[in-house]
């Protein structure tokens, strides 16, 4: 298939590389020259022009938010795609946004798959993401060769766009709350003057562990806050969760976690790895965690 993948961040890059390795004709697009270079080094063909998506059989979208997806899914781009093309939107968005995009795509005779993903950068790179998909049978049929390349688990959640995004909303609630809990635990361990690597070793084998603890905990212990998923991503995603709950559901832990991420963003951590919220908690307690040279200023 001729495939255009727009957004070569931590998840999109892995998807592009695995589609390329599976034998598809892939062009990867991003505004960041460094991201384009990474794909080129893996053997792929890159572009910073959306027009190069013309005549593609499939368009995969891995941008940050609904506003960016909105800019991509213009009528001019959609009408330039190949007949019977499928748009696979992997962005975390509201169910309503997914439904709106689907209507736009299907109105001109193309197929839309609401396909948010999970698994982190490491699984994206090995083609082992999980896809929470919903869309028509034909959309799934057209997307299957690409889903096989990028994911080890593809969940078929319904025939209507929005069902995949609803499931991703629940996933992000848990992911955000778990990251906040990891940050709190590691900050407390720092306060208790514990060896953070030893904490990781022990808790990872005990009932208190979680996927996020084992994945984000090492970031904190190593003081490595290079963004794989940023603080601002969870400000957005937990905002989606909060909007979904509206006034009809009680989500106290989500609201606490959202406040933590929002406060971290306000202090300049927005583009740091989401595990950097541990620094905010540690600073409030006068604790210096690895990788935080400013801790003494907050003591």
d(CA 13, CA 286): 38
Structure tokens at 132: 């929470």
d(CA 22, CA 7): 19
Question: Using DSSP, how many helices (H) and how many strands (E) does the chain show?
Answer: 13, 9
d(CA 74, CA 132): 24
Burial class (CB in 10 A: 0-12, 13-18, 19+), 276: buried
Structure tokens at 29: 């697009």
The full DSSP string for 230-292 is: BHHHHHHHHHHHHHHHTTTS--HHHHHHHHHHHHHIIIIITTSBGGGHHHHHHHHTT---TT-
Catalytic residue among 37, 123, 168, 266: 168
The full DSSP string for 11-63 is: THHHHHHHHHHTT-EEEEE-S-HHHHHHHHHTT-EEES-GGGGTT-SEEEE--
Place of tokens 């040279």: 293
Q: Which residues pair with 59 in a beta bridge?
A: 4, 87
For residue 168, indicate whether it is catalytic. Answer: yes
Query: Do 277 and 180 meet the contact criterion of CB atoms below 8 Å apart?
Result: yes
Place of tokens 């620094």: 279
Catalytic residues: 168
């Amino acid at each position: 298939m001729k495939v255009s993948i727009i957004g070569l961040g931590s998840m999109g890059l892995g998807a592009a590389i695995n589609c390329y390795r599976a034998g598809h004709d892939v062009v990867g697009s991003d505004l960041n020259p460094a991201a384009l270079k990474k794909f080129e080094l893996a053997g792929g063909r890159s572009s910073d022009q959306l027009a190069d998506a013309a005549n593609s059989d499939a368009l995969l979208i891995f941008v940050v938010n609904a506003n960016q997806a909105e800019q991509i899914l213009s009528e001019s781009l959609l009408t330039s795609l190949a007949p019977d093309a499928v748009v696979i939107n992997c962005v975390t968005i509201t169910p309503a946004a997914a439904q709106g995009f689907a209507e736009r795509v299907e109105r001109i005779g193309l197929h839309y798959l609401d396909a948010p993903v999970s698994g982190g950068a490491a699984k994206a790179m090995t083609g082992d993401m999980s896809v929470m998909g919903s869309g028509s049978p034909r959309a799934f049929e057209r997307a299957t060769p690409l889903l096989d390349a990028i994911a080890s688990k593809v969940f078929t959640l319904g025939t209507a766009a929005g069902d995949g995004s609803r499931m991703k909303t629940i996933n992000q609630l848990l992911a955000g709350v778990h990251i906040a809990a990891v940050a709190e635990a590691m900050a407390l361990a720092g306060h208790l003057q514990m060896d953070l690597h030893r904490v990781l070793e022990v808790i990872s084998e005990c009932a208190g562990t979680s996927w996020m603890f084992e994945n984000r905990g090492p970031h904190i212990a190593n003081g490595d806050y290079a963004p794989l998923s940023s603080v601002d991503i969870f400000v957005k995603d937990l905002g989606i969760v909060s909007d979904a709950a509206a006034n009809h559901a009680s989500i106290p832990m989500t609201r606490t976690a959202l406040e933590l991420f929002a406060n971290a963003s306000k202090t300049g951590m927005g583009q740091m790895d989401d595990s950097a919220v541990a620094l905010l908690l540690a600073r409030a307690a006068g604790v210096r965690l690895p990788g935080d040279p400013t801790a003494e200023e907050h003591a």
